[in-house]
Amino acid sequence: MITIEEALEIVLKETKVLGFETVNILNSLNKVLAEDIYSKDNLPPFDKSAMDGYAIISDDTENASEEKPVKLKIKGTIKAGDFYKGQLKCGEALKIMTGAPVPNGADAVIQIENVEADNEEVAIFNPVEKNKNILNLGEEIKKGDIALLSGMTIRPSEIGLMASLGFSSAKVFKVPKMIVITTGDELIDVSEELISGKIRDCNGYSLMALGKNLQADVKFYGIVRDDMDVLFKKMQEAFEEGDIIITSGGVSAGDYDFVENCLKELGADIKFSSVAIKPGKPFTFAKYKDKLFFGLPGNPLAVINTFEQFVSPAAKKMMGKSDIHNKQFKVILGEDFKSVKGRTNYVYVNIEEKDGIYYAYKVGSQSSNQLLTISKANGIIILDKEMVKAGEEVNGRFIFK
């Protein structure tokens, strides 16, 4: 049986970046930018007022004081969106709104709260510095300068920035089409009544949610009965349509575990079919026509664990992300833990921080069918030996990050 590290290395070796597409900026959210973006314009595109107030010539206010305010003649008003064609002269002021272009001749704006004014004149009580309350042309970014770097994950702020720079679309790395198939005669959909022997399919939902969490383009092919022919057809179809194909269940040694047989029949290249991981040992990885196939176990906890450990880094690599690995850190055990010999154990825990140190505490049964355990946990610890004592240091990480 191969180790987790060996398995991940094989998976990533077989994973290639998918390529690029140009999308509307709104659809680029959380995708990876595939080109450097240079500014086509200066931002701001003109000297603009940062305040509601009066555009003035700063030298006019040199001798202003409480006792002897300087009085300037108001020549008009400039709203945001307007453009004042004239030239401001000594002894004059223009009322100006936030965002409006500073008129020719003016070199400062005094805030409305700091003056006294009627319709004719504005009185100023203190000298105003040059450039006060003016956002200068090109202050944020100059025309031709680099604004965004290829490889970054696009956040809402980058979408806003692209809009202000006049880019309505962006070149991004493609996201994988992820097909999810759940297998098992015992499975019924969430909307159906529980009848004897049946259980609700939870893996279909958690897998789709895991895929969505990664921004993958997820499609659910539904529950497939434990029937070799039906499963074969579904898998064939999935390989036509998807970049990543995920099944749950049917990869163990049971009489009705057909996933591996289907892969063989299709001619897929099975790279490995079990990994020394708990939960998640029966786990098949195969490659077929440049598509990645992950045959996850049926147990719900094992599904989430193997997805996070193997599918997630592969999907991130496909979509051009540079930071594909789960971030680990040192955790001190808050109590004694037991684990299973010969496999790397991922134990779902509550990680608490005290004075900059992380501590791990139990949250419940680690039986691989108990999703309730994960819902009480915020992290996992990784155990390589059977008995680990309170106070020992191990690696851990937060989940769903």
Residue 313 site contact among ligand AMP, Mg ion, none (CB < 5 to 8 Å, cut-off depends on kind): none
One-letter amino acid for residue 25 of the chain: I
Token couple for 10 = 């094989």
Q: Which is nearer to ligand AMP, 133 or 368 (CB)?
A: 368
Cα separation of 306 and 363, whole Å?
20
CB 293 to ligand AMP: min, Å: 16
- Which 254-293 residues touch ligand AMP, going by CB under 6 A? 254
Distance of CA 170 to the CA centre of its chain: 17
Residues 249, 280, 379, 396: which binds Mg ion (CB under 5 A)? 249
Cα separation of 323 and 195, whole Å?
45
CB 298 to Mg ion: min, Å: 5
Pairing label, strands 277-278, 329-333: unpaired
Residues 49, 247, 299, 305: which binds ligand AMP (CB under 6 A)? 299
Residues 49, 133, 153, 182: which binds ligand AMP (CB under 6 A)? 182
Packing angle of the helix pair 228-241, 259-266 (nearest 10 deg): 60
Residue 176 site contact among ligand AMP, Mg ion, none (CB < 5 to 8 Å, cut-off depends on kind): none
Place of tokens 């004719």: 120
Which range in 80-88, 169-177, 242-250, 264-272 contacts Mg ion by CB under 5 A? 242-250
- Which 181-200 residues touch Mg ion, going by CB under 5 A? 184
- Spatial contact of 294 and 288, defined as CB atoms under 8 Å apart: no
Q: Which is nearer to ligand AMP, 158 or 260 (CB)?
A: 260
CB 210 to ligand AMP: min, Å: 13
Q: Which is nearer to Mg ion, 185 or 240 (CB)?
A: 185
Cα separation of 359 and 349, whole Å?
10
CB 369 to ligand AMP: min, Å: 6
DSSP assignment string, 190-243: TTSPP-TT-EE--HHHHHHHHHHHTT-EEEEEEEE-S-HHHHHHHHHHHHHH-S
209 binding ligand AMP? (CB under 6 A): no
Q: Which is nearer to ligand AMP, 42 or 369 (CB)?
A: 369
- Spatial contact of 396 and 329, defined as CB atoms under 8 Å apart: yes
Residue 300 site contact among Mg ion, ligand AMP, none (CB < 5 to 8 Å, cut-off depends on kind): ligand AMP
CB 275 to ligand AMP: min, Å: 14
Residue 378 site contact among Mg ion, ligand AMP, none (CB < 5 to 8 Å, cut-off depends on kind): none
Print the binding letters for residues 266-305 with Mg ion: x by CB under 5 A, - otherwise: --------------------------------x-------
Residues 69, 184, 313, 379: which binds ligand AMP (CB under 6 A)? 184
CB 231 to ligand AMP: min, Å: 12
DSSP assignment string, 309-365: IIIHHHHHHHTT-S--SPP-EEEEESS-EE--TTSEEEEEEEEEEETTEEEEEE-S-
Cα separation of 92 and 95, whole Å?
10
Q: Which is nearer to ligand AMP, 201 or 260 (CB)?
A: 201
- Spatial contact of 259 and 295, defined as CB atoms under 8 Å apart: yes
Cα separation of 103 and 363, whole Å?
66
Q: Which is nearer to Mg ion, 184 or 313 (CB)?
A: 184
Cα separation of 5 and 317, whole Å?
16
250 binding ligand AMP? (CB under 6 A): yes
Cα separation of 221 and 236, whole Å?
12
Which range in 91-99, 119-127, 246-254, 349-357 contacts ligand AMP by CB under 6 A? 246-254
The closest residue (CB) to ligand AMP is 298
> Helix (H, G, I), strand (E, B), or coil: what is residue 157?
helix
Interface with ligand AMP by CB under 6 A: which residues?
182, 184, 186-187, 199, 201-204, 248-250, 252, 254, 297-300, 369
